[in-house]
Amino acid sequence: MASIQLDKIGKSYGAIDTIREIDLAIGDGEFVCLLGPSGCGKTTTLRMIAGLEQPTRGGIRIGGRDVTHAQPKDRNIGMVFQDYALYPHMTIADNIAYPLKVRGVAADARRAQAREVADVLHIADLLDRLPAQISGGQQQRTSLARALVHPADAFLFDEPLSNLDARMRVEARAFLYHLQRSRGMTAVYVTHDQAEAMALSTRIAVMCAGDIVQYAPPLEIYRRPATTFVAGFVGDPPMNLIAAQATRTQAGIALRAGGLEMAPIASWPALDLALERGDRITVGVRPEHLRIAAGDGNRLRGKLFANEAMGPESLVTLCLDDGVRITARVFGDAPVRIDGDAVFAFDAARVTLFDAQGNRIDGQN
């Protein structure tokens, strides 16, 4: 296994920058997810690590070796593709053993190694079949086996679970977790599914429009999202974001928005600084930090929009005066009794504030 360094990597098609400038250090044995919406450049970044795409600028090192201009075959990596890319004319065994074949391993040894990996992935009984004759989940594991059959320096995954149905995906995810942690593989994993990123990563790089906006361990990303983009992307349902107007009063900073009732808060240096740049402040609250409660304190007031009982929890959505929708997560399987006008309460300490540019205002919690 090896570490991976991206050093000021950029990629342009003509005048369009797909990747602006990325620095990324991935340690030996880490599992790093590139997380972002489609078109954010995460797949391009992965393909540049694989050597399937040439960076326009910057350098790439794998295990300290400069591979920026090396061919894919000279990078010693394993890769799993979104559509698995299993060769329809080869048996499962031949598919798995292909990386060994091109390296000149003898047929017997190839067969033995393929069987070994297939055993680990529970597809040993499929070795003589063709890809068209096995299920999607089995195809996924075959492509995983093909990546694993040869001891690579790093493993690259391009949305490998996105073609599976929901139940299979959760199963395969746990399997992948176990495999990577037990073998200490260095893995780079592209996904747009924040749950996958949360579950699998040692660190997540959240990408947006060709930039990495935050690179941190999953819980750090969840608790302290760097921008409103990250806050709105991570978490299901994501963080509630309410655009508010900030004014200084004698009691402190007052935040006003339609449906938002919040006691003035005592300012701190970072907030003061943010207010100098603009008085538009975004108030962020995670759904699980909203309670359905009457009474005083910090509240959000609106009309009931949806009340979805999910089993272990209920998702209750209100529509605020200006059309913004706010969701609260209420744990427990008891039905939530709520009607017409409703109120959510929250603690000021649970609030994350973002400045006018959408960057998190540091320091309070």
Partner 1 sequence: MNRRTLFSRMAFSVGAALLGAAFALPLIWFVFAPFNAQADLDLAMPKPPTLTNFARVFANRAAVGALLNSLLQAFGTVLLVATTATLAAYALARTALRGKRVIEYVLLLFSSVVSGSAAMVPIFLIVNALGLIDTQVAVILVFTGGLLPTAMFILRDFIASIPRGYEESALVAGASPWRAFVDVVVPVLRPGVTIAAVWAFVQVWGGFLIPFVLLRSEQRMPASVEIYSFYSQAGTPIVPLLAAYSVLYSLPVIALYWYVNRKYGFRFFGGIKS
Partner 2 sequence: MISQRGANVSSRTGIAFMTPAGLLIGLFVVFPFFWIIAVSFTNRSLLGVNALHPQFVGLKNYLDLFDPATFWSQGGFGPSLWLTIQFVVFSALLGQVLLGLVLAWISRELSPRAKSLLQGIVMLAWILPDVVVGFAWFAYLDRDAGTLNQLLHGLNFPAADFLIEHPFLTICLFNAWRGAAFSMMLFDAALQSIPPSYLETADVAGASSWQKFRDIVLPLIRGHIVTDLILITMWTFNVFTPFLLTAGGPSFETDILPIYTYRIAFKSFEFGNGAAIGVIVMLINLAFSLFYLRLAQRGLRAKGKGT
CA distances from 37 to 91, 210, 215, 273, 363 (A): 35, 11, 16, 31, 29
Q: Which does 338 bind (CB under 5 to 8 A by kind): partner 2, partner 1, none?
A: none
Q: Which does 77 bind (CB under 5 to 8 A by kind): partner 1, partner 2, none?
A: partner 1
Rule CB under 8 A: say whether 1 interacts with partner 1: no
- What are the two backbone dihedrals, phi and then psi, of residue 24, each rounded to the nearest 5 degrees? -150, 125
**Is-contact 345 291, C-beta < 8 A?**
yes
Q: How distant, in Å, are the alpha carbons of 26, 28, 49, 114 from that of 187?
A: 9, 9, 11, 21
Residue 101's contacts (CB-CB under 8 Å, 6 or more residues apart) are 94, 110
CB closer to partner 2 out of 44 and 327: 44
Distance CA 290, CA 346 (A): 5
Nearer to partner 1, 78 or 259 (CB): 78
Residue 250 near partner 1 by CB under 8 A: no
Reduced to 3 states (helix: H, G, I; strand: E, B; else coil), residue 105 is coil
Which part of the chain contacts partner 1 (CB under 8 A), choosing from 69-77, 125-133, 320-328, 332-340?
A: 69-77
CA 48/CA 21 separation, integer angstroms? 13
Task: Return the residue of 36, 99, 225, 235 that touches partner 1, per CB under 8 A.
Answer: 99
From candidates 56, 68, 82, 364, binder to partner 1 by CB under 8 A: 82
Nearer to partner 1, 73 or 223 (CB): 73
Q: Is 85 in the site for partner 1 (CB under 8 A)?
A: yes
**Measuring CA to CA, which residue among 266, 233, 293 is closest to residue 349?**
266
User: DSSP assignment, residue 40?
Assistant: S
102 binds partner 1 (CB under 8 A): yes
The piece of 143-151, 215-223, 276-284, 348-356 that touches partner 1 (CB under 8 A) is: 143-151
Tokens of residue 354, six digits? 């973002």
Summarize as ranges the residues that interact with partner 2 (CB under 8 A): 13, 18, 38-39, 43-44, 47, 52-54
Does residue number 150 form part of the binding site for partner 1 (CB under 8 A)?
yes
Residues engaged in binding partner 1 (CB under 8 A)? 50-52, 71-73, 75-79, 81-85, 87-89, 98-99, 102-103, 143, 146, 150, 156
